[in-house]
Structure 1
Amino acid sequence: MKECYHNIPSPSYVMEETLLRRNLELIRCVSVEADVEIILAFKAFALWKTFPIFREYISGTTASSLSEARLGYEEMGSLTHTYAPVYRPDEMEEILRCSSHITFNSLSQFDHWYPTVRDYAGHSISCGLRLNPEYSEIETDLYNPASPDSRLGVPLADLPDELPVGIEGIHIHSHCEDDSHTFARSLGVIEEKFGRYLERAKWVNFGGGHLMTRKDYDVELLIRLLTDFHHRYPHLRVILEPGSAFAWQTGPLITTILDRVTHGGVTTLMIDASFSCHMPDCLEMPYQPVIRGASMVQDEEHAYGPYRVGGNSCLSGDVMGDWYLDHEPVVGERLIFEDMIHYTTVKTTMFNGISHPSIYLLHSDGTPELLRAYGYEDYKTRMD
């Protein structure tokens, strides 16, 4: 465990500035070399107290709700690219105030709202339409936005011969933590299906899921794909809006073992955090988290176990296992869950009245800064 972690209480999310800047440098490099705009998607990461760091590298954000649009406009300091599956009438005026782009999920939504957007007096807003390419290599249905029966986006069969007057951009999202080879294949499908619409649009947004900061990601291929696309469609402004790529591998969740419970031959290490409340993707997605110093395979280095890890909510399924360690774990020691910054703080709940872990920013000089701590009032005021 890093020595600087000893001064951080448990449970806490810890974002490391050095790791964040590493990701931001790479993303800015792709943006410059490929001549594309890469904007931050709040659905994966929205720690606005870190935005001063982000503003050194990017200027744009993408929102899918009024609250996200306000966050981008008021805290990042720029108008947002906004897309929502459906827009609420009581929120639209405020969304327009915060947005430079409004993308519609259906032709009926566009027809309903276009006069409002066109006549908005505050500033110019560009309208887009989300399309469904009906092609995706995402294996988990819960995260697949491009299935033929998806409610997200308009499939080719439902499109008119020409884009409706007022539609300037095309939005297509069909990836989830994918590599550039997958993007190459989906790009071929997109051009084959929607080429004539790309010819007449002003911008195209290829959505999120481009995990360019992952260690084995072929960044050079991504740059080549985008550069070649520019040559074929020189009139198009190209936008990517990853979320996970910004916060990927930027810090852990620190927890503490509070008890050991053995029943039916299974020993469970009870921690002061919850998978259900604080690490929901670990239950939703078909992958296990990574615990520092532990393995899911018994070997010479990890000879103790197996141990199941249990969360502190009363949900029966709030468990994750089974793990082997290099020592006999004891009450009071810490378990560190790696890569717990993206899709955690934005999805946490206070089920059972369990408080969120604190959030820390670990500065490059090793100094921890508390960004947020939670308590009873946060739980109570949720239902105020």
Structure 2
Amino acid sequence: LGLRVNPEYSQAPKEIYNPCASYSRLGTTLQNFDSSILTSCEGLHFHALCEQDSDALENVLQHFEKKFQEYIPQMKWINFGGGHHITRKDYDIEKLITLIKKFKAKYHVEVYLEPGEAIAWQTGTLVTTVLDIIHNGLDIAILDSSAEAHMPDTIIMPYRAEVKNASKAGEKKYTYRLAGNTCLAGDIMGDYSFDQALKIGDKVIFKDQMHYTMVKATTFNGIKLPSIAIKKVEGNVEIVREFGYEDFKQRLS
């Protein structure tokens, strides 16, 4: 059994992903810390990072130790949470190793890191098809997918998903607003430009969609969930699972 604590410090790039923001419900602060329950706990846990380097972890650790140092030696383990962008090319792995070794030697505890986005970062694609192209001030490509239902973080965070062979609006010859097929007016992936004009039936491929997409996908408006498939090295595609109307119906009745 462990207890989540709030070090009251984070360098999270967006407030929505900041677990140490004012009035956060995530983790007890030192002011509200009840040390009497530690007899039932084996470890303490904090999570204060979001897609960040070991420099950010170093700063969080300083605040964590400052607030909870007297309790750490009583624990068997400390969980440094997730948000470590370990697989990013410029991530300072050596600093992470040094921080963990130093902490373990100082307090004689085990250290855990939570597997997170880094495991699936820059993997997986969402393959969509152009259903229609309309014009209303600019060309709009309607896809058989949805930012709201299939890529909610592009709206919530928000962030701009990368599209294969596409650039920002105006950088290439043909610019389109890529839009979803739900009733939500804001179901829009963004404006992208292409070397060739899009046609009905063309594939538009969103990159880096493995993390926080399948697990967050919904059947809003009765939109079908994307099929899950594996593309083999040889090029053939294996369909792992397909979804249909029954999946939508069973979730509601």
- TM-score, normalised to structure 1, is 0.63
Aligned structure 1 segments of 4 or more residues deviating by more than 6 angstroms: none
> C-alpha distance in 1, partners of 2:249/2:169?
42
Work out the percentage of aligned pairs sharing the same amino acid: 46
Give 1:245 deviation, angstroms.
1.1
Query: 8 Å contact 2:13–2:50 — kept in the other structure?
Result: no
TM-score (norm 2): 0.95
Instruction: Please tell me whether the aligned partners of residues 162 and 197 of structure 1 are also in contact (alpha carbons under 8 angstroms).
Output: no
Structure 2 stretches lacking a partner, 5+ long: none
Aligned to 2:143: 271
Report matched runs for 1:49-198 at 5 Å: 127-160=1-34, 164-198=38-72
More helix by share: 1
Deviation at 1:206, TM superposition (A): 1.0
Instruction: Give distance in 1, aligned partners of 2:126 and 2:227.
Output: 10
Partner of 1:289: 161
Structure 2 counterpart SS, 1:341: coil
C-alpha distance in 2, partners of 1:364/1:168?
Answer: 45
Rounded to whole Å, the distance in 2 between the matches of 1:298 and 1:145 is: 37
Residues 181-211 of structure 1: per-residue CA shift (max 9 Å, x gap): 1111111111121111112111111111111
Displacement of 1:162: 6.2
Partner of 1:316: 185
Residue in 1 aligned with 2:247?
A: 378
> Are 1:341 and 2:242 an aligned pair?
no
Per-residue CA deviations over 1:294-351 (Å, capped at 9, x if unaligned) read 111534xx2322x110101111110122111112222211110000010000001101
How far is 1:164 from its partner? 2.7
* Distance (Å, rounded) in 2 between the aligned partners of 1:132 and 1:211: 21
What is the CA deviation profile of residues 106-157 of structure 1, one whole-angstrom value per residue up to 9, with x for unaligned ones?
xxxxxxxxxxxxxxxxxxxxx1111011111113222111123111111011
2:43 and 2:96 map into 1 onto residues whose CA distance is: 21
Q: CA deviation at 1:379?
A: 0.9
Distance 1:161 1:380 in 2: 48
Distance 1:224 1:298, change over 3 A: farther
- Distance in 1 separating the partners of 2:47 and 2:8: 10
- 2:103 equivalent to 1:229: yes
CA–CA distance in structure 1, aligned partners of residues 235 and 64 of structure 2: 45
User: Are 1:298 and 2:167 counterparts?
Assistant: no
Q: Any stretches of 5+ residues in structure 1 without a counterpart?
A: 1-126
- Cα 1:297/1:223, change in 2 over 3 Å: farther
- RCO comparison, higher one (Cα < 8 Å, 6+): 1
Q: 1:189–1:349: structure 2 CA closer, same or farther, 3 Å change rule?
A: same
Kept in 2: contact 1:143–1:176 (CA 8 A): yes
